[in-house]
Amino acid sequence: MTSRWILSFFRVASLLLLLVAVALMSAIITMHFAIHGAEVQVPALKGMTVADARSETEGLGLNLDVDNRYYSGEVAAGHILTQSPAPGAVVRREWRVRVSESLGPQKVDVPDTVGMEERVATLDLRRAGLDVGAAAHLPETGATVNTVLAQDPPAHAQDIEQPNVSLLVAVPDAEPPGGYVMPDLTGLPIVSAQLDLAKVGIKTAPPVYTEVPLQPVANIGAPPARPVQPGSVIAQSPAAGARVDQTTLVSLAVAK
């Protein structure tokens, strides 16, 4: 009688252990699918139209942001030039995929705005289909206040990269102070950085153009790093916070 009872006990205990093992395995499998089911691979979007790329990413639960637009003689207007994260990267759903859109070959002629009043120059550029960047201001003896002293790209420039024009505008002359605190110029377009320094009389050495490696894909759960834009400042000397004056020559490294 005792032997049968012990045998029955072990059978029940074995069955319970088996059920617990099955439950644990089921929980592990469920957790695995819950975690990995929320992850997707970023598709290859280069060459697609923006509409097709948006449809593709929305179908995977991803968000598409058009960060920049560039002229391109190789990729048709309205199609994707670059993307971040790269194709094949594994990210969570709702991740933002950032792309740049092609404007096709440059067809607009850059107007000559030098000598124009800033407001008129802005209107002319916009009528030509160009965007106007933030204007830099420079005290200039003898120049009419609020007129354009210089522009970048120059008038009638060919093979420009973006449909943006930066303006240098005259402001009333003022006695320059004895020194300045060096600003942080990293991330600014080289033209904007040079104009910001020029308006207080600080000169820059010829910029050094440097290849920038591709940004690594961000860790899951972290926001993606914004790509380094060609033509933007990536390093400077003197460093931000240093004291500078009109005798200082500033060196800038620029992304190719």
Q: Does domain 175-256 have CATH number 3.10.580.10?
A: no
Half-sphere exposure of 178 (CA within 13 A, CB side): 0
Could you tell me the pLDDT band of residue 224, with boundaries at 50, 70 and 90?
very low
Architecture in CATH of 41-102: 2-Layer Sandwich (3.30)
ω before 153 within 30° of 0 (cis)?
yes
Q: What is the pLDDT of residue 243?
A: 79
Domain definitions of the chain by residue range: 1-37, 41-102, 109-172, 175-256
pLDDT digits (tens, 9 = 90+) for 121-132: 999 999 998 988
pLDDT higher than 60, residue 227: yes
Could you tell me the pLDDT band of residue 38, with boundaries at 50, 70 and 90?
confident
Judge whether 187 and 253 are in contact, CB under 8 Å. no
pLDDT digits (tens, 9 = 90+) for 121-161: 999 999 998 988 777 777 777 788 889 988 888 899 888 88
DSSP string, the chain: -HHHHHHHHHHHHHHHHHHHHHHHHHHHHHHHHHHHTTEEEPPP-TTSBHHHHHHHHHHTT-EEEEEEEE--SSS-TTBEEEEESPTT-EEETTPEEEEEEE--S--PPPP--TTSBHHHHHHHHHHTT-EE-PPEEEE-TTSPTTBEEEEESPTT--S-SSSEEEEEEEE---PPPS-EEPP--TTSBHHHHHHHHHTTT-EEPPPEEE--PPPPPPPTTSPPPPPPPTTBEEEEESPTT-EE-TT-EEEEEEE-
pLDDT digits (tens, 9 = 90+) for 63-82: 999 988 888 888 899 999 99
From 80, 171, 160, 169, select the one nearest 128 (Cα to Cα).
160
pTM: 0.48
pLDDT higher than 50, residue 222: no
Q: Which residue has the higher pLDDT, 22 or 167?
A: 167
Distance CA 49, CA 106 (A): 18
- One fold for 41-102 and 175-256: yes
61 CB-near residues (< 8 Å, 6+ apart): 40, 93, 94
CATH number among 1.10.3720.10, 3.40.50.720, 3.30.70.960, 3.30.10.20, domain 109-172: 3.30.10.20
